Amino acid sequence: MTAVPASPQGFVERLAGIVGPAHVLTTDNDTAPFLTDWRRNYSGRALAVVMPGSTEEVAQVVCLCAATRTPVVPQGGNTGLVGGATPDAGGRSIVLSTRRLNRIRALDTDNNTLTVEAGAILQTVQEAARAAGRLFPLSLAAEGSCTVGGNLSTNAGGTNVLRYGNARDLVLGLEAVLPDGRVWHGLKGLRKDNTGYDLKHLLMGAEGTLGLITAATLKLFPLPQARLTALVAVNSPGDAVALLSALRSELGDRVSGFELISRHCLDLVVKHFPATVEPFAAAHPWQVLVQVEDTWRDAPLPSLFERALEPVLEQGIARDAIVSQSGAQARALWTMREHIPEGERLEGKSVKHDISVPVSRIADFIARGDAQLAAAFPAAQVVCFGHLGDGNLHYNLAFPGAVPTPEQAARANQLVYALVDELDGSISAEHGLGQLKREEITLHKSAVALQAMRAIKGALDPLGIMNPGKVL
């Protein structure tokens, strides 16, 4: 066992001996970007920010931290939304940044796999796959700055879950450093491996509390050759669900994206991004952004989509539709959707909820949630948008011209989460628990589930040094 350094300075010197002095940051100016989360809701302190350049260096750093009982806070692109990659205020931990672990190790087009290190930027991974004529389908608003390791540690979702699944569905193998510094070499590109517990699924979604992912073998898919993007106006969320059912019945897995957008969300985008063009001549209460894809270059997507849409227009389920006629028009529609979070931020603080319920209960959730929140907060405004195709809504409550008080936030959470529980949903669909929902989750998971989670944490991290204060 490595000897405990006699002082913080001695500890930092030993870190520098592992990764090199240039890769251990200690000054306030250097460490500041790593100590506050993206939403600026959480800030902390750290002994140092450490940036290993290899898995071996990660293992040595974690081994030293285990010997000295020093907490380790893993951090990728620092784009998380629940404070999961931010240290606490104690100043005893290190932030272990994966920014230098950014290499693409292997690409196998016959096996349709790509092996990358945890610090690789998601957009870089997408581009590497595309250059090889393949698709890595994970797609998020932060894809230009978020990292693969962060995506996997939170089991990120995004806009393509409907067809391709969450982040955990896109992984065949992992390499990870365990809390005692040992390396688990699990980078297999196998689609069948029935040899006991699937350890990678323990680490994915664990937010760095069970170990630190250093590399992953990812699934690749055929690159779509034909794509159609459309914005469809509907009267209600119930009609949006009916539209989804009709499109999937006709088009099957060609439907890769299905995003619900309320009128209020569209108003925010038009207000804060003046270049945005109001899509329809008339104002509609709800819109759905639909993406349809096919790997056949000559797939007649316009005629197939028209055939699927015609009956729902006749039945009044859909009120109007805009079908993109060019790549630029399609990008404009997606940009409008992607601007919603920023438009909401520019409008002011809100109480945010990242929830999921079965798709069949989406309409019930929105109707009842809107009514309950309107009764409790008559002056507030619901900001509702998200990935309706997989049951995930960003269901937020804004207070125009005011900042919600802690009491208002607590009451809004209570109402929304009680309804989520009643409808067999989840209080965190894709953002994770982090610090934000660590206490809240104890009210919504069963005692059996929480006990099992704590037992796993205790078995893998008995010293409690891996990202303490997060998830549990």
Is the same domain home to 274 and 252? yes
Query: In this structure, are residues 98 and 74 in contact, taking their beta carbons and an 8 Å threshold?
Result: yes
Rounded mean pLDDT, 47-61:
98
Is the same domain home to 82 and 176? no
Rounded mean pLDDT, 69-86:
96
Residue 302 has pLDDT above 70, yes or no: yes
- Burial class of 36 by CB neighbour count within 10 A (0 to 12, 13 to 18, 19+): middle
**CATH number of 418's domain:** 3.30.70.2740
Rounded mean pLDDT, 86-94:
96
Which residues form the domain of 313? 226-341
Spatial distance between the Cα atoms of 49 and 10, rounded to a whole number of angstroms: 15
Residue 4 has pLDDT above 80, yes or no: no
- pLDDT confidence band for 6 (50 / 70 / 90): low
- Burial class of 221 by CB neighbour count within 10 A (0 to 12, 13 to 18, 19+): middle
Residue 5 has pLDDT above 80, yes or no: no
User: What does the radius of gyration of the chain's CA atoms come to, in whole angstroms?
Assistant: 23
Contacts of 288 (CB under 8 A, 6+ apart): 231, 232, 234, 240, 243, 244, 258, 259, 260, 261, 388
Is the same domain home to 54 and 151? no
The string of pLDDT tens digits covering residues 318-350 is 999 999 999 999 999 999 999 999 999 999 999
For 269-317, list the strands marked E by DSSP: 286-294
Rounded mean pLDDT, 388-401:
95
Query: In this structure, are residues 306 and 250 in contact, taking their beta carbons and an 8 Å threshold?
Result: no
What's the pTM?
Answer: 0.92
472 in a domain, yes or no? no
- pLDDT confidence band for 40 (50 / 70 / 90): confident
- pLDDT confidence band for 171 (50 / 70 / 90): very high
455 in a domain, yes or no? no
185 in a domain, yes or no? yes
291 in a domain, yes or no? yes
**CATH number of 163's domain:** 3.30.465.10
452 in a domain, yes or no? no
- Where does a domain end: 97, 123, 150? 97
Is the same domain home to 110 and 85? no
Spatial distance between the Cα atoms of 148 and 167, rounded to a whole number of angstroms: 9
Picking from 221, 367, 346, the residue whose alpha carbon sits closest to that of residue 286 is 367
Count of domains observed in the chain? 4
The string of pLDDT tens digits covering residues 407-446 is 999 999 999 999 999 999 999 999 999 999 999 999 999 9
Six token digits for residue 168: 């955990």
Contacts of 317 (CB under 8 A, 6+ apart): 234, 239, 242, 243, 246
The pLDDT score that the predictor gives to residue 8 is 82
Sign (positive/negative) of CA torsion 235, 239, 241, 247? negative
Query: In this structure, are residues 250 and 303 in contact, taking their beta carbons and an 8 Å threshold?
Result: no
- Burial class of 83 by CB neighbour count within 10 A (0 to 12, 13 to 18, 19+): buried
Contacts of 376 (CB under 8 A, 6+ apart): 411, 412, 415
The pLDDT score that the predictor gives to residue 88 is 95
Is the same domain home to 209 and 108? yes
250 in a domain, yes or no? yes
The pLDDT score that the predictor gives to residue 3 is 46
Spatial distance between the Cα atoms of 397 and 409, rounded to a whole number of angstroms: 9
Residue 1 has pLDDT above 50, yes or no: no
The pLDDT score that the predictor gives to residue 184 is 98
Is the same domain home to 154 and 90? no
Residue 378 has pLDDT above 90, yes or no: yes
The string of pLDDT tens digits covering residues 106-145 is 999 999 999 999 999 999 999 999 999 999 999 988 899 9
Residue 198 has pLDDT above 80, yes or no: yes
- pLDDT confidence band for 7 (50 / 70 / 90): confident
Residue 63 has pLDDT above 80, yes or no: yes
Rounded mean pLDDT, 234-258:
96
Query: In this structure, are residues 321 and 230 in contact, taking their beta carbons and an 8 Å threshold?
Result: yes
